[in-house]
Structures are given as structure tokens and as C-alpha cells.
Amino acid sequence: MASWFRTPRNAELSILYYLETELSNDWSGVTLVKSFKNASKASLPVVCVELLDDNPIWREIGSHELIDVFGISIDIFATSNGQRLDLASYVRDKIKDGCVFYTHSQQSGSPQTLVRTDAGRIQVASFLEDRKVEIFDNVEGHDRFRHVISIQVRVTQ
């Protein structure tokens, strides 16, 4: 029996899958992780994707139907300021047009293997921020050349 995920989890996994595919085609040595806590465990450079919130809006006045709007954070941890700028520009260019929305399921007996089914599109509704993360102490390691891109996305099916 398959285990199905809900829309927020499917949206996050769809964006992760899309960026993983694109990064592997165009960059070498960039690690993609889900969740901010996993970023510090990976070697630089790292791109981290995490769904932060679900802010549904009413489809129309008087309707009881909601449209899910998800807040996604994409954190970039680079080895230099130039690499930070290049990766941020690359990610922004890739994500701006959206990507395929997949429903994901796990097969019993093999929970590590996800089965994807095309179920629509993820559209970027807005860019909330796209900036260097400034930390004013002498920072070394992962946070030294960090960038954040925050977006709101919608799923259309």
C-alpha cells in the first residue's frame, strides 16, 4: 500500500526535485538539502530548500474554497562572495518560471523510494526577498557567504 503526502509536503519535495535536477545538470559539487538544520552538516557550497509556512487565501468572496500559498526559503551557503552571487542568480533564474508539481508517495517496504506523479505546476506568486545575509561578527564557515531567497508559491492543478 502506498503512503500519500499532502499538498505542502508535495510542493516542498517538487521544488527540491526540480532544483536537484537543474543543479546536477549545470553545477558540480553543489549539495542540495532539505531543512536548514541539514545545511551545516553538508560541505560547501550548499543550497537549502525549506517550506516555512502555508498562508491560504479565499478563492473568492463568499467561497469556502482556499488557495494554498506556501512560503519557501532557499538558503545558499557559498565558498566565496562571487560564488554566492552566481548561485543566487542561477537559482532565481531557474525558479522564477515555476516547476512541475508532483504528488509523491512511498511504496510499502521501500519508504526511501518516492514515486512521483505529475499533478500540475508550481507558480511563483512573489519574491519576498533576495539578498545577502549580513552577520556583523567575524563569521567563518557556512554563514560567511550566505544568501537567502524567499518566495511565495501556489500550486495549480
* Residue 3, pLDDT score: 59
* Residue 30, pLDDT score: 97
Q: Residue 80 and residue 146: Cα distance in Å, rounded?
A: 9
| Cell 545545511 found at | 39
Across the chain, what does the average pLDDT equal? 91
* Residue 1, pLDDT score: 42
Q: What burial letters (b/e) apply to 113-150, b meaning 16+ CB within 10 Å? A: eeeeeebbbbebeeeeeeeebeeeeeeeebebbbbbbb
- Please give the grid coordinates belonging to residue 142: 557556512
Enter the DSSP assignment of 42. S
Domains of the chain and any CATH numbers: 2-156 (3.30.2000.10)
What's the pTM? 0.90
Low-confidence ranges of the chain (pLDDT < 50): 1
